């Protein structure tokens, strides 16, 4: 399915006119893998293996990743089924989502590709950290009653696509990317300032575009809500949100940490700036999360070496 949406531009960089955005063609396995990650209880090894086997290039790349030092398997893996058995269906489905998105890199010239890869590094780092935080909650005393395996898979799946709107913008406006994001990479800008500049350049911002196109591609509704709320965890209690309030705050914390570990897009921040973010306090204040470690923010930053290696393996 290839979706097209029309927006009206009113910014100084693009005078009043209608702008039609087109979604690139992604493999059908993208949506299927995300759905499986969000509902892991129904995930079968054979079903995940069959999805991977549909594309020999993706299979070869995923086997290479599975056999990398990062996963530390004692014996080499040479089949999709064996990989799913050893690494787990949720982990492998997450790898497949990333691989499906990365196929888009061939659509860009060298300059735009560099921005796309930075964006994918940011998404991969955010997904790793989100899963780490969710797993920390799950393994805390009594935490398994609050956060189950589904939430852990959900945290990774939603985080890997939280900036889906920016992928759409890069695909449709490659000539504008450096003018906008190149400048922002050297500045400390608020999200409201970034969205205002996107509106000025593109006639739409990455959140609106991400929500519209993720729905058009029939992403799970929890992924759509993650795209909508990842910059504003305070909306997590909105009655129409399908994404659990804890998971939206987990995503907000993961996004904050990733931007402070060298994986910000478009802006980088310091660790001190992230630690002062209110999202960490909001996470601890959530109902029924009394057993959450008080130093979860600091412990999250102690995983930086693992985040670096994971991103290098996935995106490198």
Strands (DSSP E) contained in 86-210 are none
Q: At what angle do helices 45-53 and 80-87 cross, to 10 degrees?
A: 130
Q: What is the pLDDT along the chain (316 residues), one digit of tens a residue?
A: 568 888 876 555 555 667 888 999 898 889 888 888 777 666 788 989 999 999 999 999 999 988 988 888 888 999 999 999 988 888 888 889 999 999 999 989 888 999 999 999 999 999 999 988 888 877 776 666 666 667 777 888 889 999 999 999 999 988 888 877 776 655 556 778 888 888 887 888 999 999 999 999 888 888 898 898 887 765 545 545 555 677 888 898 999 899 999 998 877 788 888 878 888 877 766 554 455 555 788 889 989 999 999 999 889 7
Q: At what angle do helices 80-87 and 89-102 cross, to 10 degrees?
A: 120
**Of 98, 100, 222, nearest in space to 158 by CA:** 222
The answer to whether 118 and 265 have CB atoms below 8 angstroms apart is yes
CB atoms within 10 A of CB 93: 29
Instruction: Say whether pTM exceeds 0.95.
Output: no
Query: Which are the contacts of 249, defined by CB distance < 8 A and separation ≥ 6?
Result: 233, 236, 279, 282, 283, 286
User: What does the DSSP 8-state code read for residue 173?
Assistant: -
CA gap 239, 133 in Å, rounded: 24
Identify whether the C-beta of residue 161 lies closer than 8 Å to the C-beta of residue 170: no
Q: What is the CA radius of gyration of the chain?
A: 19
Q: Which domains does the chain show, CATH number per domain? A: 4-315 (1.10.3210.10)
Q: Which residues of 191-204 are buried (b: 16+ CB within 10 A; e: fewer)?
A: eeebbebbbbbbbb
Q: What SS3 state is found at 315? A: helix
The tokens for 52 are 């991977």
Question: What pLDDT is attached to residue 240?
Answer: 52
Crossing angle of helices 45-53 and 56-66, rounded to 10°: 120
147 CA to centre of own chain: 19
Tokens of 182: 């190149």
| DSSP annotation string for 233-302 | GGGGG-TT--S-HHHHHHHHHHHHHHHTTT--SS----HHHHHT-HHHHHHHHSTT-TTS-TTHHHHHHT
Question: In angstroms, rounded to a whole number, what is the distance separating the alpha carbons of residues 150 and 157?
Answer: 10
- The dihedrals phi and psi of 194, each to the nearest 5 degrees, come to -65, -45
* Residue-level pLDDT at 288: 44
- At CB < 8 A and 24+ separation, what contacts does 62-71 make? 62/92, 62/95, 62/96, 62/99, 65/95, 65/313, 65/314, 66/95, 68/313, 69/309, 70/309, 70/310, 70/313
């Amino acid at each position: 399915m290839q979706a097209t949406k029309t927006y009206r531009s009113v910014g100084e960089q693009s005078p009043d006119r209608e702008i039609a955005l087109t979604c690139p063609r992604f493999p059908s396995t993208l949506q299927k893998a995300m759905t499986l990650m969000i509902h892991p209880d129904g995930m079968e090894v054979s079903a995940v293996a069959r999805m991977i086997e549909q594309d020999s290039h993706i299979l070869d790349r995923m086997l290479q990743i599975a056999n990398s030092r990062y996963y530390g398997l004692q014996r080499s893996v040479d089949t999709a089924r064996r990989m799913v058995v050893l690494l787990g269906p949720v982990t492998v489905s997450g790898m497949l989502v990333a691989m499906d998105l990365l196929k888009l890199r061939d659509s860009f010239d060298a300059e735009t590709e560099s921005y796309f890869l930075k964006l994918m590094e940011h998404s991969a780092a955010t997904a790793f950290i989100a899963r780490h935080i969710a797993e920390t909650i799950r393994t805390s005393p009594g935490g398994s009653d609050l956060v189950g395996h589904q939430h852990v898979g959900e945290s990774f799946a939603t985080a890997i696509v939280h900036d889906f709107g920016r992928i759409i913008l890069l695909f449709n406006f490659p000539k504008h990317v450096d003018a906008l994001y190149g400048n922002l990479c050297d500045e400390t800008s608020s999200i409201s300032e970034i969205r205002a500049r996107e509106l000025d350049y593109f006639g739409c911002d990455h959140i609106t575009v991400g929500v519209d196109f993720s729905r058009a591609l029939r992403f799970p509704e929890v992924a759509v809500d993650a795209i909508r709320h990842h910059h504003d965890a305070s909306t997590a209690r909105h009655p129409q949100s399908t994404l659990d309030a804890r998971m939206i705050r987990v995503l907000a914390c993961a996004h904050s940490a990733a931007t402070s570990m060298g994986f910000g897009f478009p802006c980088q921040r310091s660790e001190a700036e992230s630690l002062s973010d209110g999202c960490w306090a909001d996470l601890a204040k959530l109902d029924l999360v009394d057993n959450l470690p008080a130093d979860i923010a600091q412990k999250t930053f102690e995983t930086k070496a693992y985040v670096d290696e994971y991103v290098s393996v996935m995106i490198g």
